[in-house]
Amino acid sequence: MIGITLTEGATAPFEKATQEEMTKSIKHFEHELVGIRSGRAHPAMIESIKVVCYGGESELPLKSLASISTPEPRCIVVQPWDPTTLVDIERAIKESDTGLTPINDGNIIRLQLQEMSSDRREELLKLLGKKLEECRVSVRNIRKNVQNFVRDCQKDKAISDDFAKRLNDLLQKLTDQSIKKAEELAAKKESDLKL
């Protein structure tokens, strides 16, 4: 909450600043969810893989070297814009921790996702639970920091006790909304994992 000045009666700047901080945690959680591989193909599963290309002169993310599409639920197709990078892309995918085996036909690379075993599904559900709890903790830490800020302003007589209570009530509402949003995202991912 550094950079915001509480003004008696003005809740909008407080709400906006708090919501922005909590939204960062939710965005990070969304990004983490993409990395949890469900049974469905998604370009984000591989788009950030670093590819060493052009004789080792460059290391670029895959998404800047090729178009990535998912023509089928369990298939990812990588079409390089520069055909000379095809072998480099194939190598980078093999060396990544995705567990996918690239099939190079000379023009494009196909990645076929395997059926998920029940053990792997259980592992991913545990990982999902861990990531959800990390997000909740992050949001609660923001709440704690903001509560401390409000309390300090109240102690310094910068705001009244009534206004501090209003801000704390608003803060709890924003916290509940953020945690609910994270839980909805987790529930959607969980249903994808159970398919």
DSSP 99-123: ---EEE-SS-EEEEPPPPPHHHHHH
pLDDT of residue 38: 65
Of 70-74, 115-119, 144-148, the least confident: 115-119
pLDDT of residue 181: 96
* Between 195 and 93, residue with greater pLDDT: 93
How many Å apart are CA 169 and CA 152, to the nearest integer?
16
Rounded mean pLDDT, 169-178: 95
pLDDT of residue 47: 83
* Between 112 and 143, residue with greater pLDDT: 143
pLDDT of residue 169: 95
Q: What percent of the chain has pLDDT over 90?
A: 38
Q: Across the chain, what does the average pLDDT equal? A: 87
Query: Which domains are present in the chain?
Result: 12-35+117-193 (1.10.132.20), 43-112 (3.30.1360.40)
| pTM passes above 0.75 | no
pLDDT of residue 41: 76
Q: What digits encode the pLDDT tens for the residues 20-32?
A: 999 999 999 988 8
pLDDT of residue 85: 87
Q: What digits encode the pLDDT tens for the residues 42-69?
A: 787 788 888 888 877 788 888 888 898 9
Rounded mean pLDDT, 114-135: 85
In the chain, how many H helices and how many E strands? 4, 6
pLDDT of residue 11: 85
Q: Is the pLDDT of residue 104 over 80?
A: yes
Structure tokens at 61: 């993310």
Coil vs helix vs strand at 75: strand
Q: Is the pLDDT of residue 183 over 90?
A: yes
How many Å apart are CA 131 and CA 66, to the nearest integer?
30
pLDDT of residue 22: 94
Structure tokens at 15: 């709400």
